[in-house]
């Protein structure tokens, strides 16, 4: 499924039973001087688990989890937690300042049971619980979130979502964000979500493409940032968790059985190059997000997967960071919300065409 040919003001198309909404083209600002500011002023477990999930190792100055080692290759330290919270605000700014675009996010939706997969710092689950006090919200991750204040309707669990799910009751809404490179089999993952939803329940995926792109050719194919993405993809493929083609996930959702699937595409500018103030702000946040995260994403991938040394990674990242801050490069990362509804069972009790 293609999401190219961005139309002014956004456009909606129908392809392969998926409604696609594409945000407008972004125009660059004429002044290309670096105007990145300090964004700090702009942005402002209840489970009983074994001690093994709290164990960690220090590698190249960063902290990594050892529970289910090999399934999650990114840091779990305070620096990463701060970046994840920044990424949360970046997602809100991309999707109408809403926690999601699926109908359960609407005020008065009367959603009852919600599952947040890959909850990270738990911020999404906590905010959803605050906005929907009528809902029971379960946040699950392979790493326990470090949170002090949790709403009474929010519960955090530590589990490996690659394994069998043991939830005894279905959910009205399942939310999954930035999980690509953590999932080994997307069709199996989406099928699990489908199986654990109530009829008329919704699954929403929020994901960003690994590779940035530009509409005016200012991002060259041999750019250091492109090389870094190619190497990350190579390493994640070796790890058995390659980055997915995000638009293809909408097709998988329809194959599994979801109906009324809607794909909304937006853009994270690489820095503050856009003329439009909204996208300029998103670009400022996006740059900070990637500058904070790039070493944590590449160091384990390049050293463990590709055999690089720590010094080789750090020298390579000098060029990557310089390109990220270059406002003459009008690059952006496509970012998506994809949601769909689980249909009611057939009235005669027969299986649908999607069921085995």
pLDDT in tens, 190-236: 999 999 999 999 999 999 999 999 999 999 999 999 999 999 999 99
For the beta carbon of residue 9, count every other beta carbon within 10 angstroms: 8
Mean per-residue pLDDT for 28-32? Answer: 67
User: To the nearest whole number, what is the mean pLDDT of the chain?
Assistant: 85
**Residue 19: which pLDDT band, with cuts at 50, 70 and 90?**
confident
For the beta carbon of residue 125, count every other beta carbon within 10 angstroms: 29
Measured between alpha carbons, how far is residue 169 from residues 38, 136, 211 in Å? 45, 12, 38
SS3 206: strand
Continuous H helices in 160-276: 186-195, 224-238, 246-256
pLDDT at 46: 34
Burial of 33 (0-12, 13-18, 19+ CB in 10 A): exposed
Helix (H), strand (E) at residue 339: strand 331-341
Place of tokens 């995926």: 205
Q: Count H helices, E strands: the chain?
A: 7, 12
Measured between alpha carbons, how far is residue 268 from residues 274, 289, 290, 297 in Å? 10, 10, 11, 18
Domains and CATH numbers, the chain: 14-24+38-338 (3.40.50.150)
Would you say residue 32 has pLDDT above 90? no
Q: Indicate yes or no: pTM above 0.95.
A: no
Q: Helices 224-238 and 277-300: crossing angle, nearest 10°? A: 50
**Residue 87: which pLDDT band, with cuts at 50, 70 and 90?**
very high
pLDDT in tens, 142-190: 877 878 889 999 999 988 888 889 999 999 999 999 998 788 899 999 9
Please give the Cα distance from 324 to 291 (Å, whole number).
Answer: 8
Beta bridge partners of 114: 137, 173
Burial of 68 (0-12, 13-18, 19+ CB in 10 A): middle
Please give the Cα distance from 145 to 152 (Å, whole number).
Answer: 16
Continuous H helices in 209-276: 224-238, 246-256
Dihedrals phi, psi of 228, to nearest 5 degrees: -65, -40
pLDDT at 162: 84
* Cα torsion through 258, 339, 166, 136, rounded to 10: -130
pLDDT at 43: 31
Please give the Cα distance from 26 to 97 (Å, whole number).
Answer: 19
pLDDT at 23: 64
Please give the Cα distance from 157 to 193 (Å, whole number).
Answer: 17
């Amino acid at each position: 499924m293609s999401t190219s040919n961005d139309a002014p003001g956004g456009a909606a198309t129908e392809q392969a039973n998926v409604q696609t909404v594409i945000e407008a083209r972004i125009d660059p600002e004429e002044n290309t001087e670096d105007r990145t500011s300090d964004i700090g002023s702009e942005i402002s477990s209840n489970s009983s688990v074994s001690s093994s999930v709290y164990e960690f190792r220090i590698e190249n100055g960063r902290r990594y989890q050892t529970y289910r080692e090999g399934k999650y290759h990114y840091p779990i330290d305070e620096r990463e937690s701060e970046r994840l919270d920044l990424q949360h605000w970046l997602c809100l700014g991309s999707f109408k300042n809403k926690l999601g675009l699926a109908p359960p996010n609407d005020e008065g939706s009367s959603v009852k049971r919600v599952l947040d997969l890959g909850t990270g710092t738990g911020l999404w689950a906590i905010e959803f619980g605050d906005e929907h006090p009528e809902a029971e919200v379960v946040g699950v991750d392979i790493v326990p979130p470090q949170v002090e204040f949790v709403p009474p309707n929010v519960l955090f669990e530590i589990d490996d979502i690659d394994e069998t799910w043991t939830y005894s009751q279905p959910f009205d809404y399942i939310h999954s964000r930035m999980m690509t490179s953590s999932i080994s089999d997307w069709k199996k993952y989406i099928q699990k979500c489908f199986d654990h939803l109530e009829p008329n329940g919704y699954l929403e995926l929020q994901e960003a493409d690994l590779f940035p792109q530009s509409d005016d050719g200012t991002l060259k194919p041999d750019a250091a940032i492109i090389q870094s993405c190619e190497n990350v993809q190579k390493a994640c493929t070796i790890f058995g968790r390659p980055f997915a083609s995000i638009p293809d996930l909408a097709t998988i959702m329809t194959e599994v059985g979801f109906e009324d699937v809607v794909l909304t595409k937006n853009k994270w500018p690489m820095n503050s190059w856009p003329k439009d103030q909204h996208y300029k702000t998103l670009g400022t946040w996006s740059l900070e997000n990637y500058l904070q995260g790039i070493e944590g994403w590449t160091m384990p991938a390049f050293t463990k997967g590709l055999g690089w040394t720590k010094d080789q990674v750090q020298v390579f990242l000098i060029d990557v960071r310089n390109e990220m801050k270059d406002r003459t490069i009008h690059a952006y990362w496509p970012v998506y919300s994809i949601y769909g509804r689980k249909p009611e069972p057939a009235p005669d009790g027969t299986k649908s065409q999607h069921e085995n």
